[in-house]
Structure 1
């Protein structure tokens, strides 16, 4: 966002039965009446922001307005994915059945799309020899790697007395540690961790609080003020802090900036997430069903975003005028909507199931066996890189 993943990134009324993250990785397993339309609506609207953010990237230079919108969206859209993913992970236990679903629903898409994005990048960039690296997430796949790690650790966070302060401390320390490196996107894993842990702590009544009329009314001036601050901050602030992908040293900032910006960004992001949720409709709408397809939309739209740069779709001068910027935004929303359609979801899940079968060599392989297969695959790739 999840990518990008989130990078990246479904819900029922029974939290202990919820197995899939945002974006949803197994929505077809549940009947429509079991789903919460509020969070399905939130997932679809949030994934539109992911598409818009990627569409705006080439338009930032020379447009203060686009950059301000970009900064505002990146301040909360991936934190939102992490929060809702944590909410859906409240009932996760380290038992074979659930670990097996985590492997097939998150690990397999990670492997498939890491390879696919690498091959696509070889074709569309000046790096035709880029190696396939399952340990260095490319583009949007970082969110799947993060989600896999977060969900595996979710039982541990339920045992900790003060989980959110501890997660914030971990994120703050990560900004002081440039030596963490890029393996599995650990900087993002650790810096986005507090949002996931916050989601683990949420209950349905917390979502009802932001859906009250008073919250909806208050959200309007808050978002307008945030947009004004973003517009003012474009000239001097490094919005890469909202990417949570680098340490303070890598952002050419004093070390103490890292912990301070972690806390400041967390407060800002949580407020904006609440404002966003306040305006999400709670009833079923025409786009509610699309909320089940956010994983497919998240992973597939990256190819479109990369192709747009490769084929110079941003070169015409009119694209960088207001009418062009609006057109780009609408096209991005339309493409994402199409990629979240039920028909695309069905094809996507069939392809993922097809990818699982050769890996597990049969439907009855245990979760432990599947882990061993994936481990051997990682070792083989690592040897090739060496």
Structure 2
């Protein structure tokens, strides 16, 4: 994510819901099973949010360090696709039932409204570094809040992708058309919404066995050279490729390129992002680790770390001798990882839950009692973070 508004915001992503709604059947065994979580997805979300944070921390170093710029390009190629694909996977059962719409509003819509306002007020204050004239516009997502807008729209379209005969080709066609259509405008960061759409649709098409396939030994062995090669290509591309392609914020024409370059780069970036996402997910541990529980708090880390990133720009935290040296890049990387990790912890989640995970039963009609044998949808939270999401382990190894 860059610090320039609506040009290099990044994804960035990932989110968490902790409360578990009452099960349809009041059976102790069923209740226990529903509270089980699959550590694989929590691990993946935590590792991905760490990549988001450190890539944002690298942003001011790119002009002075080719290595930092290469790392930035490398991570940006796949961390957003990984988030969006997981979001799609946990949206497979979204049918727009009243209870699902309620969770979508309280888990995605309301946090967007809250943090959009907070970020704008933060920027207006700025203490000498912000934008005091920044207008309050809910149609113009600020910095990291764009992902909540995109997720809200993607999830609402979920029923459509289940009835389309060829959903992924259609989604890719939509992304390609958007990439060469400057007249779409910037409301709701629509370019990004449409250009990242194929990853969401692909996630909806995935099944448990696809993640199991990623855990095969041969896939994991190949993942390492693939990631190293991608890092080398990223280093090579630094002076040759406009990094703005990574953000999917503008059409090709708005970037000064021919219209045909939009679809070409859209397909190329989709392929590269998917390949590296598979490589990344294949290496994610499936067992419980010290950071597994933090995966349930990634929405907090995602939304809150942006304030730290913005403050670091406004208050010149990077005006330190040697900050772009290898040692300086390492320190910045470590600090980014530590900060976002702390923001995912239980104390922070308890303190800020009213803002990030508001309880708004007062705003909705009470649903009729659930029928015996009823099933909850996969993935109640933005990325399936409630205990109602995937729970069986992907693989015993890892």
What are the equivalent positions in structure 2 for 1:208-227 lying under 5 Å apart? 208-227=212-231
CA distance in 2, matches of 1:33, 1:324: 43
The corresponding residue for 1:49 is 51
The correspondence for 2:15, drawn from 20, 23, 34, is: 23
What are the equivalent positions in structure 2 for 1:206-285 lying under 5 Å apart? 206-285=210-289
Measure how far apart 1:315 and its partner are. Answer: 0.3
Give per-residue Cα distances to partners, 1:209-244, cap 9 Å, x unaligned: 111111111011111111111111111111211111
Q: Is the 8 A contact 1:175 1:246 kept in 2?
A: yes
Q: Which runs of 5+ in 2 are unaligned?
A: 22-31, 368-398
Higher RCO (C-alpha 8 Å, min separation 6): 2
Cα RMSD after superposing both structures:
1.9
The correspondence for 1:107, drawn from 73, 92, 109, is: 109
CA distance in 2, matches of 1:70, 1:146: 22
Q: Is the 8 A contact 1:175 1:258 kept in 2?
A: yes
Q: Give the 3-state SS of the residue equivalent to 2:256 in structure 1.
A: coil
Give per-residue Cα distances to partners, 1:352-377, cap 9 Å, x unaligned: 455x65xx8x344479xxxxxxxxxx
Scaled by the length of structure 1, the TM-score of the pair is 0.87
Measure how far apart 1:27 and its partner are. Answer: 2.8
> Which range is displaced more, 265-274 or 343-352?
343-352
Q: Which runs of 5+ in 1 are unaligned?
A: 10-21, 368-386
CA distance in 2, matches of 1:33, 1:327: 38
CA distance in 1, matches of 2:324, 2:47: 25
The corresponding residue for 1:383 is none
The correspondence for 1:182, drawn from 173, 179, 186, is: 186
Equivalences, count:
349
Q: Is the 8 A contact 1:114 1:138 kept in 2?
A: yes
The corresponding residue for 2:302 is 298
Q: Give the 3-state SS of the residue equivalent to 2:253 in structure 1.
A: coil
The corresponding residue for 2:341 is 337
The correspondence for 1:320, drawn from 320, 324, 331, is: 324
Cα distance change, pair 253–306 in 1 and its aligned pair in 2 (3 A): same
The corresponding residue for 2:88 is 86
Measure how far apart 1:127 and its partner are. Answer: 2.5
Q: Is the 8 A contact 1:90 1:154 kept in 2?
A: yes
Measure how far apart 1:97 and its partner are. Answer: 1.1
Scaled by the length of structure 2, the TM-score of the pair is 0.84
